[in-house]
Amino acid sequence: MLTILFDGIAYGMLLFVLACGLSVTLGLMNFVNLAHGSFAMAGGYITLVLVNRAGLPFFAGLPIAFIVTALIGALFERTLYVHVYNKSHLDQVLFTIGLVFMSVAAVDYVMGSQQVFIQIPSVLQGRFEIFGIGVGRYRLLIIVVCGLLTVGLQLILSSTRFGSRLRASVDDARVARGLGINVNAVFTLTFAFGSGLAGLGGALGAEILGLDPTFPLKYMVYFLIVVTVGGTSSITGPFVASLLIGVADVAGKYYVPKFGAFVIYTIMIIVLLLRPQGLFARASGK
Amino acid sequence: MSSSVQDQVAHHLAARARWRPLEYVFWLAAVASVFLLPGRHLILTEIAWLALFALSLDLILGYAGIISLGHAAFFGLGSYAGALLAKYGVVTEPVLALLVSGLCAAVLGFATSFLVLRGSDLTRLMVTLGVALIMREIANQIPQLTGGADGLQGVTVGPILGMFDFDIFGHVSYVYCLVVLFVLFVLARRIVYSPFGLSLRAIKGNSLRASSIGISVNARLVAVYTLAAFYAGVAGALLAQTTAFASLDVFSFERSADLLLVLIIGGTGYLYGGLIGAVIFKLMQDWIANLTPQYWQFWIGLVLVLIVLVGRDRFGSWTGGVRALAVGVLRRFSRGAAPVPVPPGEGR
Amino acid sequence: MGAVLETVGLEKHFGGLTAVAGLSLKIEKGARHALIGPNGAGKTTVINLLTGVLRPSAGRILLEGEDITSLESYRRVRRGLARTFQINQLFPDLTPLETIGLAISERMGVGAQWWRVVGSSPAVVAEIVELLDRFHLTDAMYQRTGNLPYGKQRLLEIALAIACRPRVLLLDEPAAGVPEDERHEILATVAALPADVTVLLIEHDMDIVFSFADRISVLVNGALFVDGPPEEVARDPRVKAVYLGESLDA
């Protein structure tokens, strides 16, 4: 049972790294980016090409995936997304769905439609036992990397100048501008960072979630659930939500395979009914 | 003196609800296509039920202001209901089966309507998406009934009204779908111009003020959501009956997303948007699929992106311009003094 | 004379902030009752509580003796309680004709009809025309509300509440934001309201308050500070202090 818990936590932390960029973008720019999964997919495929074809070591592929996806994110933000910020949520949804469709078809065209696997180094393969818990090496890596990232994010947010500028911009962009904060730069940097994290998550998650061109569509719901349940005004909210969903999904699919998939949808609907603003959001705010 | 103002107002309101010349043209063209385009009846059938599906979304999105990313839930339930009723001979007459399937979808709509009453647009998107995904998963988990991922095979549909057998060229299918579409359209049109329809537009415009003048906002929204679910279910059943098949993709996200595109292309809030959008979308899809069968989703995505970048209202004003032009042409042939048919709900 | 609208120990807390504290307000039938107080005193919150837009944290609200505390907004309207908003809350895409017609149809119980065309009832049309005429909106009745000048919108705002034929009318700063030359039209409308309609008026303009009201309640920090006929309130030094600040008093 503890193995399930371990796997669930690994899955949850992976979800967090994938989804936190979406959460911050939604909270910061009030922008619904359904194409977030496309950045994750991009990171996964970039790592695939680097590791499988160019022969780079896996541990080098990960940070490169982060950087390249972040750059792509910055580019898209400045050229495309910036035109859609002030439009209605429906328009944003339609726009990003369009981007998803385009990215899915484009990747299908370039890389083919079959599921692909990144070659992981042998040190990460297999599992070992600690106190009777089966610990998968790869999942352990995920927990460590994602845990470090989470701590780092929280530190950046709470203890750095950029973090306070970001929090100010999330709270009230107009006032932040009035204080001289370059909100546009904050937006671009944050969007890029969030997309980079998604890319890293996609690279890390290829082994566990499966990587194919339909990745953004398959996992869009999971990211959205994390964001709606966890709220958009903190890091801890989506973090706890991700763990909850990760454990619930893994446990659900193991113990009640027939209904496993329903567990998270039901959780989402119940949470939204009771607290439409998410479990952890502030009472005020948009 | 004031009674003449009264008469003027009464006349104005009645004239607004009267059928415009352009509407007659649209339906005459539809009837004409039965006889003039026999080779295209298969795609026309698809356009017909897609138009009905889009009409159902317009009722909640264009008139009541409810954003839904999961309208396929009702479509899919109607589809499976229609297929199952035919396969197991529970209801062999298709029209009756349509009604039953629509009612099943309506029940689901009623049951889930309370989910969309509260919360922001984002909440509604999430919740409706969640419902559609749950429906898909349910269908996936009972393959003994639904055929699972392979789809429901072995469906045979009885003759309509006991008299008209479905044929492989789609002739009967098309007339059938067109008649159903027309009947339900007329009903929707009636509703939209009624006090109930007006209250929906008020709710969409300012739900706080609507409740402050005595409108029971939640009750009206539940009613229109249930009605829209009925329409979507009938559309789904039409698909099942005309193809004698049902599969999981009736619940898919792509179907809900494509539907949004259909309605956006045609324009929301004037009932014909879904119909016009269905024609344009299907023709576009057909054309693109002939060019690149595997990657047409890319071009659909591109269309979505471009429409949003150009701006939906600017896009709508182009089609509005075409419409106004057509009206101007028609006016030469009609002596009617009906006001320019600017659709209700569209800004002037 | 009995109180037609009454609050008993009404309270509203937003987290740690107390917006309304133990308010027991009585409004007599047929009164012209003004509710005044400095900014942030909680006047609009009181209106929101009375109309059901907000739920009270404690206390009760009685309309004509009946407890309506847990009654939904739209039901209170049907019981005869209507309000206007400080900032116009109208339907931008509807015309004044449609807007007023909507309220009248709802009141007559035909608002939910789906099979008849709007305007097919002569009684409704007659009333729409009469009301639009009374508020000088006849020439604007086919125009989109969002395109109307602010003064006309404000008139429509009040006309809409009147269309509900309320027994109790709550007016939240009816002249707010209206240009000087159009104010008199608004005020004349308010003054011409039938005598059997009870009016609770929130206002900042003291000239309007003293010319219109037969009873004034002063709200400070969510609590009832002073309550009485205009002459009494005008003479009360505490009221002056509250508006001008203690430091200006010896």
- A257-266, B30-39, B268-277: least confidently modelled range: A257-266
The closest of B294, C41, B270, B37 to A109, measured between CA atoms, is: B294
Give residue ranges of A with CB < 8 Å to any B CB: 26, 32, 80, 83-84, 87-95, 97-106, 108-109, 217, 220-221, 224-225, 228, 258-259, 261-262, 265-266, 268-269, 272-273, 276, 286
Distance from CA of B94 to the nearest CA of A (A): 33
Stronger pLDDT, B48 or B346, i.e. the higher one: B48
Distance from CA of B265 to the nearest CA of A (A): 12
At B347, the pLDDT band (50, 70, 90 cuts) reads very low
At C166, the pLDDT band (50, 70, 90 cuts) reads very high
Pair type for strands C223-228 and C215-220: antiparallel
Q: What's the confidence (pLDDT) of residue A121? A: 80
Q: What are the tokens at C39?
A: 């900014």
At B323, the pLDDT band (50, 70, 90 cuts) reads low
Q: What's the confidence (pLDDT) of residue C4? A: 92
Q: Given CB atoms, is B18 within the 8 Å cutoff of chain C?
A: no
- Cβ–Cβ under 8 Å, residues B103 and B229: no
Say how many domains are in chain A.
1
Give the separation between CA A88 and CA A234, rounded to whole angstroms. 24
Q: How many CA atoms lie within 13 A of A52 on its CB side?
A: 13
Under 8 Å CB-to-CB from C17, ≥6 apart: which residues? none
Angle between helical axes of C122-134 and B2-17 (0-180°, round to 10): 120
Max avg pLDDT among A159-173, B3-17, B134-148, B178-192? B178-192
Q: What is the mean pLDDT of residues B67-92?
A: 93
- Cβ–Cβ under 8 Å, residues B71 and B128: yes
Q: What's the confidence (pLDDT) of residue B2? A: 60
At C250, the pLDDT band (50, 70, 90 cuts) reads very low
Mapping DSSP onto H, E and C, the string for chain B reads: CHHHHHHHHHHHHHHHHCCCHHHHHHHHHHHHHHHHCHHHHHHHHHHHHHHHHHHHHHHHHHHCCCCCCCCHHHHHHHHHHHHHHHHCCCCCCHHHHHHHHHHHHHHHHHHHHHHHCCCCHHHHHHHHHHHHHHHHHHHHHCHHHHCHHHCECCCCCCCECCCECCCCCCHHHHHHHHHHHHHHHHHHHHHHCCHHHHHHHHHHHCHHHHHHCCCCHHHHHHHHHHHHHHHHHHHHHHHHHHHCCECHHHHCHHHHHHHHHHHHHHCCCCCHHHHHHHHHHHHHHHHHHHHCCCCHHHHHHHHHHHHHHHCHHHHHHHHHHHHHHHHHHHHCCCCCCCCCCCCCCCCC
What mean pLDDT value characterizes chain B?
87
Q: What's the confidence (pLDDT) of residue B345? A: 41
* pLDDT for B299 beyond 70: yes
Give the separation between CA B72 and CA C150, rounded to whole angstroms. 43
- The answer to whether the CB atoms of B206 and C91 lie below 8 A apart is yes
The residue of A94, A217, A263 whose CB has the most chain B CBs within 10 angstroms, and thus the best one to mutate to test that interface, is A94
Residue A151 in any domain: the answer is yes
- The answer to whether the CB atoms of B261 and A94 lie below 8 A apart is yes
Q: Out of B253, B297, B304, whose CB is closest to A95?
A: B304
Q: What's the confidence (pLDDT) of residue A285? A: 37
Residues 198-237 (C) with a CB less than 8 A from some CB of B: none
Q: What is the mean pLDDT of residues B322-341?
A: 52
Q: What's the confidence (pLDDT) of residue B219? A: 95
Q: Show the CA angle centred on residue A39, arms to residues A35 and A40, nearest 5°.
A: 110
In this structure, what CATH number is given to the domain that contains residue C172? Answer: 3.40.50.300
Domain residue limits at C210 = 3-248
Give the separation between CA A87 and CA A77, rounded to whole angstroms. 15
- Residue C249 DSSP symbol: -
- The answer to whether the CB atoms of A258 and B141 lie below 8 A apart is yes
- Cβ–Cβ under 8 Å, residues B216 and C52: no
Show residues of chain B in contact with C161, CB under 8 Å: 213
Give the separation between CA C184 and CA A130, rounded to whole angstroms. 84
Q: What are the tokens at B222?
A: 């539940």
The closest of B5, B15, B163, B146 to B83, measured between CA atoms, is: B146
- The answer to whether the CB atoms of C74 and B216 lie below 8 A apart is yes
What mean pLDDT value characterizes chain C?
89
- Cβ–Cβ under 8 Å, residues A52 and A25: no
| DSSP helix/strand/coil, C17 | strand
Closest CA in chain A for residue B264: A94
Q: What is the mean pLDDT of residues C164-175?
A: 93
Q: What is the mean pLDDT of residues C129-150?
A: 92
- Cβ–Cβ under 8 Å, residues C229 and C209: no
Show residues of chain B in contact with A26, CB under 8 Å: 122
The closest of B239, B253, B222, B250 to B109, measured between CA atoms, is: B222
Residue A259 in any domain: the answer is no
Question: How large a percentage of chain C has pLDDT more than 70?
Answer: 97
Q: How many beta carbons lie within 10 A of that of residue A269, not counting itself? A: 18
Amino acid at B20: R
Helices (H) and strands (E) in chain A, counts: 11, 2
Q: What's the confidence (pLDDT) of residue A153? A: 83
| DSSP helix/strand/coil, A246 | helix
Stronger pLDDT, B125 or B203, i.e. the higher one: B203
Residues 101-130 (C) with a CB less than 8 A from some CB of B: 101-103, 105-107, 110-120, 122, 125-126, 128-130
Q: What's the confidence (pLDDT) of residue A59? A: 85
Stronger pLDDT, C192 or C40, i.e. the higher one: C192
For chain C, list the contacting chains (3+ Cβ pairs, <8 Å).
B
- Cα distances from B250 to residues B89, B107, B176, in angstroms, run 22, 18, 21
Residue A186 in any domain: the answer is yes
* pLDDT for B183 beyond 90: yes
Q: What are the tokens at C226?
A: 């002073």
* pLDDT for B120 beyond 80: no
- The answer to whether the CB atoms of C119 and B12 lie below 8 A apart is yes
Residues A44-96 have pLDDT tens digits of 999 998 888 888 888 888 899 999 999 999 999 999 888 888 888 888 889 99
* pLDDT for B334 beyond 50: no
**Cα torsion A167, A169, A175, A176: sign:** positive
Q: How many beta carbons lie within 10 A of that of residue B253, not counting itself? A: 22
Distance from CA of B243 to the nearest CA of C (A): 34
At B336, the pLDDT band (50, 70, 90 cuts) reads very low
Instruction: Provide the number of CB pairs (under 8 Å) joining chain A to chain B.
Output: 116
Q: Given CB atoms, is C80 within the 8 Å cutoff of chain B?
A: no
At B79, the pLDDT band (50, 70, 90 cuts) reads very high
Q: Out of C94, C117, C128, whose CB is closest to B14?
A: C117
Instruction: Give C159-226 as a DSSP string.
Output: HHHHHT--SEEEEE-TTTT--HHHHHHHHHHHHTS-TTSEEEEE-S-HHHHHHH-SEEEEEETTEEEE
Q: Given CB atoms, is B289 within the 8 Å cutoff of chain A?
A: no
The closest of A242, A251, A202 to A222, measured between CA atoms, is: A242
At B333, the pLDDT band (50, 70, 90 cuts) reads low
- The answer to whether the CB atoms of C110 and B198 lie below 8 A apart is no
Residue corresponding to tokens 């059928």 = B19
- Provide the b/e sequence for B25-60 (b: ≥16 CB within 10 Å): eebeebeebeeeeeeebbbbbbbbbbbbbbbbbbbb
Q: What is the mean pLDDT of residues B309-327?
A: 67
Domain residue limits at A180 = 2-213
Q: What's the confidence (pLDDT) of residue A73? A: 94
Q: Given CB atoms, is B202 within the 8 Å cutoff of chain C?
A: yes
At B235, the pLDDT band (50, 70, 90 cuts) reads very high
- The answer to whether the CB atoms of C102 and B198 lie below 8 A apart is yes
Under 8 Å CB-to-CB from C158, ≥6 apart: which residues? C84, C135, C171, C174, C186, C189, C190
- The answer to whether the CB atoms of B220 and C112 lie below 8 A apart is yes
Show residues of chain B in contact with C97, CB under 8 Å: 9, 12-13
Closest CA in chain B for residue A260: B137
Say how many domains are in chain C.
1
- Cβ–Cβ under 8 Å, residues A278 and A231: yes
Q: How many CA atoms lie within 13 A of B216 on its CB side?
A: 13
- The answer to whether the CB atoms of A217 and B253 lie below 8 A apart is yes
Q: What are the tokens at B120?
A: 């922001």
- Positions in chain A short of pLDDT 70: 170, 276-286
Q: What's the confidence (pLDDT) of residue B238? A: 95
Q: Given CB atoms, is B62 within the 8 Å cutoff of chain C?
A: no
Residue A165 in any domain: the answer is yes
Q: Out of B118, B295, B302, whose CB is closest to A98?
A: B302
Residues A95-108 have pLDDT tens digits of 999 999 999 999 99
Q: Given CB atoms, is B24 within the 8 Å cutoff of chain C?
A: no
Residues 90-129 (B) with a CB less than 8 A from some CB of C: none
Strand partners, C227: C217
At B320, the pLDDT band (50, 70, 90 cuts) reads low
Q: Given CB atoms, is B259 within the 8 Å cutoff of chain A?
A: no
Residue A173 in any domain: the answer is yes
| Whole-model pTM over 0.90 | no
The residue of A93, A100, A279 whose CB has the most chain B CBs within 10 angstroms, and thus the best one to mutate to test that interface, is A93
Q: Show the CA angle centred on residue C141, arms to residues C140 and C143, nearest 5°.
A: 70
